[in-house]
Structure 1
């Protein structure tokens, strides 16, 4: 079975298990609440008083409770979803009248047959018949709240789907953009007939393997750092001594415990090499990555040519715009992106909470 399909099946199974557990909790709550209602006379009264609540015998109270359960669930499971939610209000109203009205003669017949003492006390009638209205009202409120929760859940799922689709698009956008830049480097090496072309191709194959197999999910920060170091090494092969590249990057021992969105850091380095390798005298690029507890700080600084007539790459904004959007989607309120453009120095600082 393909890895993506296995993950999809596992995710579906996890969602199903979660839904089943939620349904079990709700069912348990319903059983507990109705059990308390049915057994209330036996909890608050005693045999000496016939388990009565006021002048209503406990057994009659429990029988009425069963009738109220019928009202609640006939409304919640039949009338409301089939009539109200389908906008058959003209049928819903008489159906509710029949449901509530039908409970009155049923209660009266039980009262007359088995509890004549209650029948001869008109003062208790309101406590016998009025609960039918109350239970209906509670059932209606329950249905409305349930509808609202389901609508909110559906909206969140739709938003999550949209975010997931947008994220997939952004991830798919990164790879071609990156490959375009790397192939430009290799063309440069080929034109120079450099001996470094072969090791550069080997590095490219490793980078492509990373892009193809590891960028569909979050990866270990140590993997992203390895990828970053490989890209910097590839650029050094191209430029040699033409650009001073200074790096201070945390080792795998410090970064192995954290995960990060793949190919999140590389666009800043791409941008630095692209704009820091022009006609700037004494070009230099400084790259720093360090961790303090669970907070990552990544800083890239380069010198660039501020001449407005200098040629610009039409696609130069793709990488930075892409990473900004991904940061907003994946790390809302958990990152700070500071861009300082003070010619001839361009500096980007990303502070990212990894928890």
Structure 2
């Protein structure tokens, strides 16, 4: 099992590592005999200068840049930077004059003492720009994720009304026939509603639950149609799908579509449903006979279910699914290949 370390902790650790190396550099590359000097610069002085550079870096990055580097206070930014960098020069000179007077005789080291203040400032500017860009990208990703989440919730909310519309139409048909199957159909509908209301609130559900839901829906349709419609089903065994999860109610629109358009307008209606799983790849096929007359099977709600599921697939399984819809009389054949998790 891999452990993901938060980016913020990695950044803090990297800062500590870099400044620690710089502070201890004289003691890593030199020895006590030379007072841990790097050239003409004593080790202790080098470490004190690093502390001043740390102050320049973080005062600029954490105070001056976020407070003044904007359209409102940009005119204060330059004076603040000049004070910050310029203030480091007399501080460094005071340390040299009071604690390391021998260094005053080595004019060649002055450029290695004073110039880095300017260099550290520019490094701090680059750091701030990079942080701003990363922060902007993260905000954009959060907005995109929120937008996708909102769109997904909307698509999910469409499933239940669409499902209920189709099922209630089925129950009306049973009621008109005064069928004895109406009561068991209502009980079965109750079980389906329980699944929709309580088991599909999370991000994903067990594939076994989704398959059980499909089987219940198909059983409900069998109660309605009896022997008038030939229904062939093959579902993967529970052992083959026990550990996989799937977006809830992702498969039902294909089955709904088959019963809606493959039972009322064609002689000898037949519906074939097949679901298999192999090496974490789900293959779901639904085929039904249909009437090729373009005026016979169209209504204002046609295509809602399939359009919905196509949008959800693009949001939830980008690059992890293949959807094939073949309409070739007399068969309408849908094949979904999906990489499971």
The answer to whether TM tops 0.5 is: yes
Map 1:311-330 → 2, pairs under 5 A: 311-330=297-316
Q: Which residue matches 2:246?
A: 260
Shift of 1:304: 0.6
Find the counterpart in structure 1 of residue 275 from structure 2: 289
Residue of structure 1 in register with 2:26 after alignment: 41
CA-CA distance at 1:317 after TM superposition = 1.1
Any gaps of 5 or more consecutive residues in structure 2? Answer: none
2:76 to 86, 91, 95: 91
Secondary structure of 1:300's aligned partner: strand
Q: Distance in 1 between matches of 2:150 and 2:265?
A: 40
Alignment correspondent of 1:8: none
State whether residues 249 and 288 of structure 1, in contact with CA within 8 Å, keep that contact through their aligned partners in structure 2: yes
Structure 2-normalised TM-score?
0.96
Aligned residue number for residue 292 of structure 2: 306
- CA shift at 1:86, angstroms? 5.8
Q: Quick one: which of 72, 92, 115 aligns to 2:100? A: 115
Q: Matches of 1:24 and 1:334 in 2, distance apart? A: 32
* In structure 1, C-alpha distance between the alignment counterparts of 2:245 and 2:71, rounded to whole Å: 47
> Is structure 2 residue 221 aligned with structure 1 residue 235?
yes
Which residue in the other structure is 1:158 paired with? 143
CA contact (8 A) 2:282 2:340 kept: yes
Give yes or no for the alignment of 1:172 onto 2:157. Answer: yes
Look up the SS of the partner of 1:163 in the other structure.
helix
Whether the 8 Å contact between 2:233 and 2:273 is mirrored in structure 1 is yes
In the alignment, does 2:156 pair up with 1:206?
A: no
**How far apart in 2 are the matches of 1:311 and 1:275?**
6
Aligned match for 2:56, one of 62, 71, 77:
71
Task: Tell me the CA shift for residue 29 of structure 1.
Answer: 2.4
Q: Say how many residue pairs are matched.
A: 338
Distance 1:325 1:180 in 2: 20
Please report how far the alpha carbon of residue 259 of structure 1 lies from its aligned counterpart in structure 2 after TM superposition: 0.2
1:202-261 deviation digits (Å, cap 9, x = unpaired): 000000001101222210000000000000010111111111001111122211110000
SS in 1 for 2:322: strand
Q: Once structures 1 and 2 are overlaid, which stretch shifts more, 181-190 or 238-247?
A: 238-247
Deviation at 1:68, TM superposition (A): 0.6
CA change 1:172–1:294 in 2 (3 A) is same
Cα pair distance change 1:311/1:59, threshold 3 Å = closer
**What TM-score comes out, normalization by structure 1 length?**
0.92
Distance in 1 (alpha carbons) for counterparts of 2:212 and 2:138: 40
Runs of 4+ off more than 3 Å: 18-25
What CA distance in whole angstroms lies between the structure 2 residues aligned with 1:215 and 1:313? 29
The alpha-carbon deviation at position 19 of structure 1 amounts to 11
Instruction: Give 1:196's aligned residue.
Output: 181
Secondary structure, in 3 states, of the residue corresponding to 1:299?
strand
> How much does 1:309 deviate?
2.9
1:80 paired with 2:68, answer: no
Helix, strand or coil: the match of 1:314?
Answer: coil
Residue 127 (structure 1) aligns with: 112
Check if 1:350 corresponds to 2:340.
no
| Shift in CA distance, 156/227, structure 1 to aligned 2, threshold 3 Å | same
Q: Deviations over 1:96-152 (max 9, x none)?
A: 011001101111111111212211111111000011011111111111111111111
Q: Work out the CA distance in 2 between the residues paired with 1:329 and 1:178.
A: 21
Q: In structure 1, what is the equivalent of residue 11 of structure 2?
A: 26
1:311 & 1:338 partners in 2: Cα distance?
21
